[in-house]
Amino acid sequence: MQFNGKSKRTRQVYFRSLRMLVEFFGKEPDKITEEEIQKYFLHRKTKDNWAPNTLRIAFCGIKFFYEHVIHRDWHILRILKAQKEQRLPDILSRNEVQRVFSKLTTFHNYVYLATVYSCGLRLNEGLSLKVSDIYSDRMMIHVHCGKSAKDRYVPLPHETLSLLRKHWSCHRHPQLIFPAMKTNGKNAAKIENPMAVASVQGAFRSAKNAAGIRKKRVTIS
């Protein structure tokens, strides 16, 4: 094979991918048909249960050989692609959420995470909340530029509204609900930026560990 610009490791992986294909069909690679290539990857995925990353590596090596070495203009090589592996996060139960919240050490992190949890917000949506986004008369929150840059309204539970009011009274910022603030809230009303994503993520991880929850990829529901 001609591997212009390919590393030694890449050459080894590509050779291995092609060798496994040849061994599977028991014939030279130039005798293997386009239909057989499709059957090969279907077998590896459904029968051998190859992981997406393994399939992707094999596909790259085989595709390189047929396109750049023996110059086969096969449609299957343009449309066949192994999907990236997507691991779903572990979901915390209500009991686990309560345990995590009980271990939060600062009130502003508690209110923020409680708001995100109770209103179904994304992290940045919660951090970007402004005083003008809270409609207490309608018990709604106006979320700006959410997923796909779309605005939406979400229900605001009475307990969450009470928490937000109590939190706001600690800093009285004219615009932001969650300004970046120290534990004592000193000069918070003059701060221009909201709390950082990294800080609330760190607070959540610390509380999760303190609660004895060992799940790694976590969301709350």
155 has which bridge partners? Answer: 140
Query: Could you count the other beta carbons within 10 Å of the beta carbon of residue 47?
Result: 8
pTM listed for this prediction: 0.59
Tell me: do 113 and 183 sit in the same domain: yes
In a domain, 65, yes or no: yes
Instruction: Determine the average pLDDT of the residues in 11-17.
Output: 90
Of the pLDDT bands very low, low, confident and very high (cuts 50, 70, 90), residue 221 is: very low
Q: Domain total for the chain? A: 2
Q: Give the pLDDT confidence of 34-86 residue by residue, as tens digits.
A: 999 999 999 998 899 898 888 989 999 999 999 989 999 888 887 776 455 55
In a domain, 100, yes or no: yes
Please give the torsion angle defined by the CA atoms of residues 99, 147, 130 and 162, in that order, rounded to the nearest 10 degrees: -30
Of the pLDDT bands very low, low, confident and very high (cuts 50, 70, 90), residue 92 is: confident
Q: Final residue of a domain: which of 58, 79, 100?
A: 79
Please tell me what DSSP assigns to residue 69. Answer: I
What confidence score (pLDDT) does residue 219 get? 56
In a domain, 85, yes or no: no
Query: Could you count the other beta carbons within 10 Å of the beta carbon of residue 13?
Result: 16
Of the pLDDT bands very low, low, confident and very high (cuts 50, 70, 90), residue 9 is: confident
Of the pLDDT bands very low, low, confident and very high (cuts 50, 70, 90), residue 217 is: low
In a domain, 3, yes or no: no
User: What is the Cβ-side half-sphere exposure of residue 210, based on CA atoms within 13 angstroms?
Assistant: 15
Token couple for 110 = 């508690």
Token couple for 116 = 């995100």
Tell me: do 94 and 74 sit in the same domain: no
What confidence score (pLDDT) does residue 159 get? 96
Domain that holds residue 184: 90-220
The CATH number of residue 140's host domain is 1.10.443.10
Tell me: do 141 and 202 sit in the same domain: yes
Token couple for 130 = 């402004």
Tell me: do 114 and 153 sit in the same domain: yes
Residue 214, pLDDT above cutoff 90: no
Q: Give the pLDDT confidence of 103-139 residue by residue, as tens digits.
A: 999 999 999 999 999 999 988 899 999 999 999 999 9
